[in-house]
Amino acid sequence: MIELLLCSMVTILPDYLFRRYVQGKRVGHEITFYSVWFELRWGIITCLLLTITLITLIFYYHPSTTSVTAVFRTVTILPEIGGRVEEVYVTDNETVEAGAPLFRLDSSKQQAAVDAAQTQIAEVDAQLAVAEKELAGADGQVTQAQGAYKQALDELNTKQELLNRDASTVSQREVERLQTVVDTREGGVASAIANRQSVETKINTLLPAQKKSAEAALAQAQVELDKTLVVAGVSGVVQQFTLRPGDVVNPLLRPAGILVPSEAGRKALIAGFGQIEAQVLKVGMIGEAACIGKPFTIIPLVITRIQPVIAAGQIRPSDQLIDVQQTANPGTITVYMEPLFEGGLENIPPGSSCVANAYTSNHEKLASGEVTGLHAVFLHAIGAMGVVHAAILRVQALRLPVETLVLGGH
User: What is 66-117 written as a DSSP string?
Assistant: EEEE-----EEE--SS-EEEEEE---TT-EE-TT-EEEEE--HHHHHHHHHH
Residue 383 pLDDT exceeds 90: no
Question: What is residue 127's predicted lDDT score, i.e. its pLDDT?
Answer: 84
Pairwise pLDDT comparison (251 vs 121), residue with the higher score: 121
- Mean pLDDT value of segment 171-188: 73
Q: Which of 2-11, 217-226, 255-264 has the highest mean pLDDT?
A: 217-226
Residue 322 pLDDT exceeds 90: no
- Residue 282 C-alpha from the chain's centroid: 25
Task: Report the C-alpha gap between 382 and 57 in whole angstroms.
Answer: 7
**Which of 292, 398, 399 is closest to 348 using CA atoms?**
292
Question: What is residue 305's predicted lDDT score, i.e. its pLDDT?
Answer: 92
pLDDT digits (tens, 9 = 90+) for 389-398: 888 888 888 8
3-state secondary structure of 240: coil
Residue 26 pLDDT exceeds 60: yes
Task: Report the C-alpha gap between 251 and 242 in whole angstroms.
Answer: 16
pLDDT digits (tens, 9 = 90+) for 119-160: 998 988 888 888 888 777 877 777 777 777 777 777 767 767
pLDDT range class, residue 408, cuts 50, 70, 90: low
Question: What is residue 301's predicted lDDT score, i.e. its pLDDT?
Answer: 93
Residue 2 pLDDT exceeds 70: no
Question: What is residue 288's predicted lDDT score, i.e. its pLDDT?
Answer: 92
96 Cβ neighbours under 8 A, 6+ residues apart:
90, 102, 232, 235, 236, 237, 238, 259
pLDDT range class, residue 162, cuts 50, 70, 90: low
3-state secondary structure of 239: strand
User: What is the rounded end-to-end Cα distance, in angstroms, of the chain?
Assistant: 27
Q: Comparing 121-135, 187-201, 235-249, which segment has the lowest mean pLDDT? A: 187-201
- Mean pLDDT value of segment 99-128: 88
pLDDT range class, residue 166, cuts 50, 70, 90: low
Question: What is residue 303's predicted lDDT score, i.e. its pLDDT?
Answer: 92
